A and B are shown apart, each in its own frame.
Chain A
Amino acid sequence: SQTIHQWPATLVQPVGSPLSLECTVEGTSNPNLYWYRQAAGRGLQLLFYSVGIGQISSEVPQNLSASRPQDRQFILSSKKLLLSDSGFYLCAWGRGTELFFGEGSRLTVL
């Protein structure tokens, strides 16, 4: 069966510091991968998606970037965090039209 892992689960970072969130999927090959963010009291916002190694589509202009160095690995990064980057970051993989989420990474920027 397919599983998806995200880490770290929780992190507190100062403004201006870098960020790296990692996501890996097991049990499937060439999945579509997604990064969503859920800010406090708001809905899920699609940030990036990838249909293959090195292929990244950005949905909204922002302070973040994504990379897919391996088939089942998806990384979300920032060089300098802003206060507005705080939120619950969710990686997901797609099977057909369905999405399945990892457990999420909760980021607080102070």
Chain B
Amino acid sequence: RKEVEQDPGPFNVPEGATVAFNCTYSNSASQSFFWYRQDCRKEPKLLMSVYSSGNEDGRFTAQLNRASQYISLLIRDSKLSDSATYLCAVNLAPGTASKLTFGTGTRLQVTL
């Protein structure tokens, strides 16, 4: 089993749709979770941190399910500009600040 696993997609959705991605992680002791966005041939950019209570930033909602060891990202009212690869990242070893393990990413394509 991979330490951090994502469905690679691609997810092809029409503009305005709601889409959700999941990411599973292997270490139940993990403490820090993140979603990054990566455009083609660019560096990953931090989209949002994932808190135990869940958090929302505009059209984006991130949630953590510790019991099932996964995090999720929900995008509402998809825009063409949301097309990108979404990477989840987990600090699998608490105490090793910022040492993140990344999933391979889920590609999203939003179409007209």
A: residues with CB less than 8 A from B are 32, 34, 36, 42-44, 46, 49, 88, 90, 92, 94-104, 106
Contact = CB atoms under 8 A, between A and B. Distances in A.
Given A34-B98, A98-B34, A43 B103 contact: yes
B97 A96 contact: yes
Given A43-B105, A44-B87, A99 B43 contact: no
User: Chain B, interface size: which category?
Assistant: 20 to 34
Contact of A97 (B32, B45, B101): B32
B100 interface: yes
A104 B38 CA distance: 12
Given A99-B34, A103-B42, 18 more contacts: A32-B97, A34-B98, A43-B4, A43-B103, A43-B105, A44-B44, A46-B99, A49-B99, A88-B41, A90-B43, A90-B44, A92-B98, A97-B98, A98-B34, A98-B46, A98-B49, A103-B43, A106-B41
A39 to B, nearest CB: 11
Contacts, number: 54
A42 B104 contact: yes
Contacts of A97: 31-32, 49, 91, 97-98
Residue of A43, A95, A100 with most partner-chain B CB within 10 A: A43
B104 A99 contact: no
Given A42-B104, A43-B102, A43-B105, A101 B44 contact: yes
A101 B98 contact: no
Residue with the highest number of chain A CB atoms closer than 10 Å, among B41, B98, B102, B104: B98
B108 interface: no
